[in-house]
Amino acid sequence: MGKRLHTCPGCGGTLAFAHESVNLATCSCGAVVEQQEDGSLALRPYYRINAPFELLQPGTGGTWQGRSFTVLGRIQVLFDGSAYNYWTILFDDDTLAWLAEGYGLYSILVPTRIGLVLRADDIDQLRIGVQRELFTGELFLLVGKGECRSWAIEGALHLPERNERFREFDFASAGGRHFRLFQFLRTYAVAFEEFPTTAGALQFTNTRPEPEGAGNYDVPCPRCAAQVRIRNFPYAQSGHCDQCDHHLSLSGPGNRFVVNGSNSTTPTPLIPLGSTGTLQGIDYEVLGYARKTEENRYRSQWREYVLWNRVEGYAFLSEFDGHWVYLRERIDGPVLLQSGARSFDVDGEPFQLFNRYNFSVDHAQGSFPGDYFDTGMIEVSEYISPPELWSVEFDQRGDVTWFHGRHLESREVGAAFGVNDLLPRQNGVGAVQPLFYIDVYKLVAASFVGLLLLLIVHWGIGSTLQDRVLYNETLYFTGSDTVNAASPEILLQKGSSNVAFKIYAPVENSWVAVEASLIDKRTGKEYGVEKGVEYYAGYSDGEHWTEGSRTEHAYLTAVPAGTYFLQLRALRESLYNSAPSVSVEARYDVPSTRNVVIPFLLLLIWPIVQYIRVNTNEKKRWSNSPFNPFDHEA
């Protein structure tokens, strides 16, 4: 390429090409100038964008991955049902990339090469859902494709080929990598690696001031000739005629609109069109309202509000039975390598298929993105993990569009738009309403962690215990059924601890009872416990049976520090086969299983109660789903 400053062949003024690869530029005189391979300039009859209103403009600055860039210009592409901008950006290190932008979606496109060689015939056979190994060992799913219907430019830019039409293919891998392939000629395609991002992350500066009436496009209704205003054209390509109550959609060249259905009912939106409010920290204006109906045996109806923010783009507010969901389109949606998947994980969060349906729009007011009313071949699948939702639309044009949704409380919606008194009451449990919700696996995991912590604490406490023998003697019944014994002085040093007694007697169909008392030498206060040992055995109906045990345990708890005497009194049953002796062992400051068992039982109460609550509400939630996992319990 040649020099970066040129003379416009149309007006003779100075025309800047900020980079040697920039090959198209618009002049202030209105001319579109192409820089050719030999460096010469030529006037071209390409369209330029009239009355631009978007946030970005030539000269806008930004930052990506720690690198500063400047926006040079763009090509705005009209596809069937959508419009998208590809801005040429120049980084400080003098490298070029594209910034793809539209509908509030942003991504950086970096020129690259893919490992797979795609011939023209291969590209012709690409269909949505097909998988290709773009790189060795890494499968990519074709998730979107479109054909350029027309394009126009603003500023200066790099366009590999200047054909009137070209095709675009979007690939994504389960590992989160994205690629876009642009086929400019049958035998020439250019690949870009795509990095989804956000307006906030790009930190834009020197953005375009919003002009008066930005994006307004007035068209005559094809039905009644009344003027219909489309807000945010060309991103919005559908609208409604208030005069004759028909729906309008962009169709064919020349920005021509055609009738695409009509309102079958006349409901009034609860949030008036033109209302402004703040949701999720974003200031929105309500541009459209629609009522939709599932085309299945359920015939469920819900209401949808189209929200718009100049920086963040479109959002959708959906209401069903008084339950609200806030949704935004996402480039980095899940990649389902198996069609018809019933579940998937996103960042370790499990999502389950809740609904799958086609739908129709039976009422609409305002302006809508894309071809909003061409719904005949759109299939929607909704995957839930309350309070979140992933919704995917497969349409007849071959696009796969993902939306991420989140439950909103009615009071949040009402406060945002000042309509608290108008909102409907909730009925049942919403699809992503987080009422008493926790995933069962998370519940089990939380309970396991709690038990583990309990055992660790118990082990930690146990490691500090003395577990010291205070007394260990055998008492003999010599000519009497009663025997007494006493210990020397016993020093207990801890502020408060326990004394555990182990009592053994060789009883056989008889019993022995032991009374143990710790007596404080200084105060005379007594801490006592009684425990019996009994064991019986015999035969009944030819079967041997036993009852009782020859060994028993007893405990004194919360015994304070001090000097003590241990007094023992043992009594045996007076029989011919009475036990000849009884052994008593006393240990101080020992581990107690009760310190684990009781907290463990208390710990179990929470997951059990929570499981019952979750299970009850999940049954109510899934009763509205054709994929109800509880059906097998009926």
Indicate whether 85 pLDDT > 90. yes
Give me the pLDDT at residue 2, please.
41
> Hey, which of 1-5, 525-529, 600-604 has the most confident mean pLDDT?
525-529
Give the span between the Cα atoms of 184 and 191, in whole angstroms: 11
Asked whether the beta carbons of 179 and 116 are under 8 A apart, the reply is no
Give the span between the Cα atoms of 167 and 148, in whole angstroms: 6
Q: Worst-scoring range by mean pLDDT, 167-176, 272-281, 346-355, 608-617?
A: 608-617
Give the span between the Cα atoms of 535 and 136, in whole angstroms: 75
Q: How many CB atoms lie within 10 A of CB 409?
A: 14
Give the span between the Cα atoms of 15 and 11, in whole angstroms: 10
Mean pLDDT to the nearest integer, 549-568: 94
Indicate whether 63 pLDDT > 50. yes
Which of the listed CATH numbers 2.60.40, 1.10.10, 2.60.120, 1.10.4030 matches domain 474-586?
A: 2.60.120
Q: Which residue has the higher pLDDT, 314 or 464?
A: 314
Indicate whether 386 pLDDT > 60. yes
Mean pLDDT to the nearest integer, 296-313: 93
Query: Hey, what's the torsion of the CAs at 452, 453, 457, 462, to 10 degrees?
Result: 0
pLDDT per position as a tens digit, 463-505? 567 789 999 999 999 889 999 999 999 999 888 889 999 999 9
Provide the percentage of residues in the chain whose pLDDT is more than 70: 91
Give me the pLDDT at residue 1, please.
40
User: Average pLDDT of the chain?
Assistant: 89
Tell me whether residue 632 is exposed, middle or buried, using C-beta atoms within 10 angstroms of its C-beta: 0 to 12, 13 to 18, 19 or more: exposed
Mean pLDDT to the nearest integer, 573-591: 90
Phi, psi of 197 (to 5 degrees): -150, -170
Indicate whether 48 pLDDT > 90. yes
Mean pLDDT to the nearest integer, 537-565: 92
Give me the pLDDT at residue 463, please.
56
The angle formed by the CA atoms of residues 467, 473 and 474, to the nearest 5 degrees, is 140
Mean pLDDT to the nearest integer, 287-292: 96
Give me the pLDDT at residue 454, please.
55
Give whole-number Cα distances, 435 to 412, 541, 621, in Å: 16, 58, 10
Any residues with CB less than 8 A from the CB of 107 and at least 6 apart, and which?
99, 100, 101, 178, 194, 195, 196, 197, 331
Any residues with CB less than 8 A from the CB of 321 and at least 6 apart, and which?
424, 426, 427, 428, 430
Mean pLDDT to the nearest integer, 553-568: 93
Angle between helices 594-622 and 440-462 in degrees, nearest 10? 170
The domain limits of the chain are 46-202, 217-422, 440-461+596-633, 474-586
pLDDT per position as a tens digit, 404-457? 999 999 999 999 999 988 899 999 888 999 875 556 566 566 666 666 675 666
Indicate whether 304 pLDDT > 80. yes
Give the span between the Cα atoms of 67 and 201, in whole angstroms: 12
Give the span between the Cα atoms of 247 and 610, in whole angstroms: 49
Give me the pLDDT at residue 564, please.
95
Give me the pLDDT at residue 634, please.
46
The region, left, alpha or beta by phi > 0 then psi within -120 to 50, assigned to residue 100 is: beta
- Rg from Cα positions in the chain: 39
